[in-house]
Amino acid sequence: MGFIDLSGALGRQFGSIGLALNEIYTQLIIKRSDQFKVIGNSAARAEQCAESICSKLDLPKTFQIEVAAAIPEHVGLGSGTQMALAVGLALNGFYDLGLKIREIAALTARGRRSGIGIGVFEQGGLVVDGGRGEKTIIPPIISQLKIPENWRFILIFDRRGQGLHGEQEVSAFKKLPTFSQQEAARLCYLLMMQGLPAVVEKDINSFGDVISQLQQSVGEHFAPVQGGVFTSSEVDQAMQWLKEKGVVAIGQTSWGPTGFCAVDDPAQAELLKEGLEQQFSGSENLHFMVASARNCGGEVIAG
């Protein structure tokens, strides 16, 4: 849901807020096999993770992994981190390694900027990480709250493209101007004294106002390298339609192109999704989904 301090003025940079969803997930099945094989969606990424972990820990590749479900790659939903941690956790259980999630994250080089993907894998809910300091290995989680059960999040996908990632992302950060320390302080103040208390008190309007302000500020900062506050102009149009309907927490996930918003009524969420489908029926690019928050972390089920 966005970074809270891109200035680094206090010696810590980034810091971010995000949450876990139920309907979009990664699921792996690992079983013993004489032949190492990885099959299913995003098999190449899963195989790369498995190869790397086995090499670093000197593990025999006497298993097969089936990727039963995978988060879409490079659309702002943390697919890389979730895949790496899922593969690591599967191997951890398979070989009884006794590793903790953060040890797996360090082993797979996750959390280089945001700790959100790690935090939601650990415990779900809404999480805030404290950014990276000089000696930080994995960004620390400084807040974790349960999302009210009735809240829903409408996701707007653009089938055409992907957000910045890899070397493109590294290059983009180098091109950005210095972020205002005063603006970072304002965003942190809003989050601490309005956004987080609003989640506890189930006040979606106050929470949504903070997320919208944070997204607008960070989106304007990223605009020179992503083409605007939103990466996708069609997603931008859909978000403006939702804004006119009074929907809150308007924003873009990570580098996008996926957009999101929040409502506190499941029925309203479905009606808004239907409205979007009618309003943008002429677009071959947009796809809409209603998702609920996941208030628990990743799970291992022994068969």
φ, ψ of residue 227 in degrees (nearest 5): 90, 10
Fold of 27-142: Ribosomal Protein S5; domain 2 (3.30.230)
> Residue 23: its pLDDT value, please?
96
Q: 148-292 sits in which CATH class? A: alpha beta
Tens digit of each residue's pLDDT (9 = 90 or more) over 50-100: 999 999 999 999 999 999 999 999 899 999 999 999 999 999 999 999 999
Separation between Cα atoms, residue 130 and residue 193, nearest integer Å: 16
Which residues does residue 65 pair with via DSSP β-bridges, in sequence order?
30, 38
Domain ranges of the chain: 27-142, 148-292
State the pairing for strand pair 14-19/2-5: antiparallel
DSSP tag of 280: T
pLDDT of 112: 84
pLDDT score recorded for residue 158: 95
Which residues of the chain fall short of a pLDDT of 70?
Answer: 162-166, 170
Q: Please name the amino acid found at residue 66.
A: E
For residue 166, the model assigns a pLDDT of 65
Residue 163: the pLDDT is 66
